[in-house]
Structure 1
Amino acid sequence: MFRDQISQRSLTIVAVCVFLAAITWLVFGQTLGHGFVDYDDPQYVYDNLEVTSGLSLHGITWAFTHSYYNNWHPLTWLTHMLDWELYEGKPGGHHFTNVLLHTVGVLLLFLVVAQMTGALWRSAFVAAIFAIHPLHVESVAWIAERKDVLSGVFFMLTLGAYIRYVHRQTLGRYAVVWILFACGLMCKPMLVTLPFVLLLLDYWPLNRIRNERLEVGSRRLGVSSQSPSGSYGEPRWSLVRHLILEKVPLLALCVVSSVITLLAQGDAIVSISRLPFWWRLNNAFLSYVVYVRQMLWPFGLVPFYTYPKTALPGWEVALSIVLLIGITAAVIALRRGHPYLVTGWFWYLGMLVPVIGVVQVGSQAHADRYTYLPQIGLYLALTWMIADLAKASRRQWILTAAATAVIAFLSWSAWIQGSYWRESEPLWKHTLAVTPNNEVAHNHLGKLFLEKGLIDEAIAHCQAAVNSLPNSPMFQADLGTALLRKGLTDEAILHFQKAMELEPNRTERAKVQSNMGNALLQKGLTDEAIVHFRQ
């Protein structure tokens, strides 16, 4: 009979894995027919000479010894090189790798959560939401965001290795955790928060901060996944100290990764003079709440969210702070009966810290891709809370129907969101439809129309971008290029001059000077043009 139960459980696990893979490919299979987009794909793939040279010893050396485009993620570069080796410039192959990696991450998440909690169906629902939530479309459908899905696989593998280590704490098993974590950091440094997630898992569901020894079995570790009210005691602080010290080798990796990241992203980190600290902090509070709203209502998603042009709405900031404090207080108050709320909520808060904007990289207010791993915490907390409430009411059919409806709704929404990523033009037109004054969308459309020879349309969009953000050297230079194509040389020169004044990067300034030289040549000012070409 025991063997029959094991066999039935194994069949259920296989069936769930097949279902999870099916819905993932149902939503994202369309991307195999998509092209590249002009948003980082050129720099990461088809215009990158190191990538288009394929996988080689030189390429491997370059990946590990260079930071490029303000990032050091050598394993991510190696996957792009391998893709080019396999598919060359065919975007469908590159998309296939993204979807495949995402599918592996989904299956690993299900297996890891099920192993920790013993709750198959709850774990399956968490993995299903992770698989098809529209917020994750950007991470999967965007080739240049390979680092999300690749780091996600190593994140899940690290969790799985950690569970094995918890079963039997040997140096060899800890070394596997350390190596997998190091690999994850070499895919995307945002994983520096993983040791904090492990501490949360020590709290629930592994229950390591109360018990020196864990129950070891084929079904579960630590406490029951049901966690009845009042059954979760207070932590033993001597064990907490031990568990923190246990993470020191992992924290050492975090320090090294953080230093490398700061050095690599030096040019991309926005200075306090451009974006004051209080503004960043207020935007961080707003972003935490915005991500929750987008999780619950995943519409109006775009690849770039701009900052308000004047000031952040004070009432929204205040409301966000009140909501965050209120939710945190409720989670702490309910911790004994519902410990999963602590793990889930602080997983979400903690994993977002590196990208919440206090240290601002780039000019976006927030980004869908940042939620790829952090929102797993919310999926866990909400799934367990709703399932516990439904169990108390003894109306399981309602829960099953609701879960089915949620999966169907999210699949439909994600499929539509994924369709916008088929090409650059529909992506940026959708962005403008959602955020009409989006200067990044205007500028990208301007360059697209310029490539198509639609000069007037290009000038209109480039001018709109400059009007929205006049201190952008890139926008000034692109408008100058469009005006030069129109034959408006004097106006083009004015914008090239402005771009050179604003551009802090020597390489980018040199490109503008080359355009300035071409404009001066058109006016017959050869000597002045030569000066700019030489510079």
Structure 2
Amino acid sequence: MSREEAGGRIYVYSFICRQRKIFLFWGFILLAFLPSWWTGFVWDDVQYILQNPDLRTWQGLFRIWFVPSSSPQYYPLTFSTFWIEYQLWGLDPAGYKLVNLILHGANAFLLWTIIDTCLGVKRCWVGFFTALLFAIHPLRVESVAWISERKDVLSGFFALLSAKFWIANSALSPAERGWRFLFPFSAALLSKTAVCPLPLALVVMDHWRHREAWRKSWAAAAPGLVLAFFAGMLHLFLEQSNIDSARKMLDIPVLERILIAGHAFWFYVLKTIWPFPLMTLYPRWQFDPMQATLWLVPVSVFLVMLLAWFHQRKDHGFALLCVGIYSVLLFPASGLLLQAFNRFSYVADHFIYLAGIGLVLPLGVLLQHLVQQKRTVWLPWLILTLLAMGSFVRGLDYKDSETLFRQNLKYNPTSWGVHNALGSVELTQKSNPGAAIAHFQAAIQLEPQAAQAYYNLGVALTQAGKATEAEEAYRYCLGIVPGYAEAWNNLGILYANLGRIEQAKEAFLRAIEQKPGNQEFQGNLREAERLLRER
């Protein structure tokens, strides 16, 4: 056989093997997320899509980009995809979830190609297994089945595209390389600001790939780091209003935040190894910084990082690569920085979407080792099948908000956020104010500083015809958060219905002080002024 014929056979064999891998790859993903595709809107999908007027008009698209306060969070590229989809299929959740699934699958495929490029053909199973572990792990279900988490899969797509550009242009000068990766990175930031640390993760990757020249990576990453800094500052500024609405619950000392970050680090490691049970809202930890044993956790995180650094010569920096990617990308959601979601919990499955790559990479190496041994060749496929089944079952929880939070209540019955969400379901979807009131009161008992629960209780009491109790609930809400615009507006409506027009006008004015551009508040004020003139 000639050398050309042998080379041709090897090429054909490699091509067939890759096609089989691609078939298995997409087959596992579709199996894992099949139930997620046919589930409905849940939780804040209502705010993001169902009741978002900006998705209806061209003016709304303009507001998405140029009026940051018009959206729940300023992620204009994410909300632009929602705007486009609303024009295509309206309020059919299947369309939105299909886009999430396609983006997630594309992210996993991009990860596969990136690892193959970095490791080469000799370790081709590592890329396949790592990408598939990333794709079908039950921790990813929240980012795919929950439409509002489009920001995860969309920012993930552009972040991985940035990494692809970064690797492909490694031979260019630092300046040219830095500017070329900036475009997809900008798109990632416009999808979700949590990808800010990506340039640092790419520097870590360069340190592993080209240790002798990795210092040049800092120069290439500089434009991205500058852009990330300003994007992060803008996000913190815009997020302030959300934080202010839960300020008393988020007044967490720095020492306690360090403890939270250390526990979060190991929480996700353990959930990656054993992803059961999974919840939308996990228990909200309470730590006493004066308890010395608690500090063993963040100290252990520091020791892991130290060991990874000093182990570079033995493993060629692989441990540092995994720990570095995981730690750097987790940082924005580690608990060290405040965000509104922390009023419910300090950890969430969607927090680890990209950071999880650092955890599944060593597992991908392990599965490659197992598949190459005759005695254990079957084990990787069993593990992948079990993970896919876990994602399949988890996807069933996203049928609707009631199913999601009833399941959550089984594992976390002391979560005020779960009771608050179930109360909203009883109130808005089942028109059962009595059951809603019970849930909101349970939420308040669990978290007396939950202004949102007091607000919702006021709405439920109003629907139940209990005006005096409703007024008291709104007053408690405003005692916690004096700038709660919706509470002032509802209080004004309550006063107007009771004939207390002057008090109603004052309440509407207070609401408009907080949100000057709100058309509903302005209309209510005009109506109150008209009633006063007609007296």
| TM score, norm. by length of structure 2 | 0.86
CA contact (8 A) 1:21 1:107 kept: no
Distance change in 2, residues 1:526/1:162 (3 Å): closer
CA contact (8 A) 1:72 1:260 kept: no
Task: Point out where structure 2 has 5 or more consecutive residues left out of the alignment.
Answer: 1-5, 511-535
Partner of 1:236: none
Matched, 1:360 2:341: no
> Secondary structure, in 3 states, of the residue corresponding to 2:143?
helix
Matched, 1:476 2:446: no
Distance change in 2, residues 1:330/1:438 (3 Å): same
Give the Å deviation of 1:241: 3.1
> Which of residues 100, 103, 116 is equivalent to 1:101?
103
Write the deviation string for residues 96-151 of structure 1: whole angstroms up to 9, x where unpaired.
11111111111111111111111211111101111111111111110011010011
**Paired residue type of 1:378:** L
Give the Å deviation of 1:173: 5.8
Matched, 1:163 2:163: no
> Which of residues 82, 86, 89 is equivalent to 1:87?
89
Partner of 1:334: 311
**Paired residue type of 1:331:** A
Give the Å deviation of 1:242: 2.3
> Which of residues 6, 9, 34 is equivalent to 1:4?
9
Write the deviation string for residues 409-463 of structure 1: whole angstroms up to 9, x where unpaired.
1111111111111100011111111101111110111121123132322111111
Q: Distance in 1 between matches of 2:292 and 2:140?
A: 29
Matched, 1:140 2:141: no
Partner of 1:396: 373
Partner of 1:31: 36
Partner of 2:427: 450
Give the Å deviation of 1:327: 2.5
CA contact (8 A) 1:355 1:370 kept: yes
Task: Point out where structure 1 has 5 or more consecutive residues left out of the alignment.
Answer: 211-238
Partner of 1:346: 324
**Paired residue type of 1:264:** L
> Which of residues 447, 455, 468 is equivalent to 1:490?
468
Give the Å deviation of 1:169: 5.0
Distance change in 2, residues 1:312/1:132 (3 Å): farther
**Paired residue type of 2:222:** V
> Secondary structure, in 3 states, of the residue corresponding to 1:267?
helix
Give the Å deviation of 1:533: 4.5
Q: Distance in 1 between matches of 2:423 and 2:331?
A: 34
**Paired residue type of 1:87:** W
Alignment of 1:503-514 (within 5 A): 503-514=481-492
Give the Å deviation of 1:264: 1.7
Give the Å deviation of 1:172: 6.1
Alignment of 1:35-74 (within 5 A): 35-37=40-42, 39-53=43-57, 56=58, 58-68=59-69, 69=71, 71-74=73-76
Matched, 1:19 2:24: yes
> Which of residues 488, 507, 511 is equivalent to 1:532?
507
CA contact (8 A) 2:55 2:61 kept: no
> Which of residues 227, 232, 250 is equivalent to 1:253?
227
> Which of residues 250, 259, 279 is equivalent to 2:256?
279
Partner of 2:282: 305
CA contact (8 A) 1:45 1:52 kept: no
CA contact (8 A) 2:308 2:319 kept: yes
Q: Percent identity?
A: 26
CA contact (8 A) 1:269 1:359 kept: no
Distance change in 2, residues 1:176/1:246 (3 Å): closer
Q: Distance in 1 between matches of 2:292 and 2:138?
A: 28
Partner of 2:409: 432
Higher helix share: 2
Partner of 2:116: 114
**Paired residue type of 2:274:** W
Distance change in 2, residues 1:171/1:526 (3 Å): closer
Distance change in 2, residues 1:290/1:242 (3 Å): same
CA contact (8 A) 1:52 1:81 kept: yes
Give the Å deviation of 1:529: 4.2
Partner of 1:187: 191
CA contact (8 A) 2:495 2:504 kept: yes
Q: Distance in 1 between matches of 2:146 and 2:335?
A: 22
CA contact (8 A) 2:103 2:153 kept: yes
CA contact (8 A) 2:77 2:190 kept: yes
Between the two proteins, the alignment pairs up a number of residues equal to 494
Partner of 1:242: 216
Partner of 1:226: none
Matched, 1:371 2:352: yes
**Paired residue type of 1:255:** F
Q: Distance in 2 between matches of 1:316 and 1:59?
A: 52
CA contact (8 A) 1:473 1:499 kept: yes
Give the Å deviation of 1:527: 5.0
CA contact (8 A) 1:51 1:59 kept: yes
CA contact (8 A) 1:185 1:192 kept: yes
CA contact (8 A) 2:478 2:484 kept: no
RMSD of aligned Cα (Å): 2.5
CA contact (8 A) 2:130 2:363 kept: no
CA contact (8 A) 2:174 2:217 kept: no
Q: Distance in 1 between matches of 2:130 and 2:229?
A: 31
> Secondary structure, in 3 states, of the residue corresponding to 1:140?
helix
**Paired residue type of 1:160:** K
CA contact (8 A) 1:70 1:267 kept: no
Q: Distance in 2 between matches of 1:360 and 1:304?
A: 17
> Which of residues 253, 268, 272 is equivalent to 2:242?
268
Partner of 2:514: none
Partner of 1:230: none
Partner of 2:523: none
Partner of 2:530: none
**Paired residue type of 1:196:** L
Distance change in 2, residues 1:511/1:18 (3 Å): farther
**Paired residue type of 2:507:** H
CA contact (8 A) 1:98 1:149 kept: yes
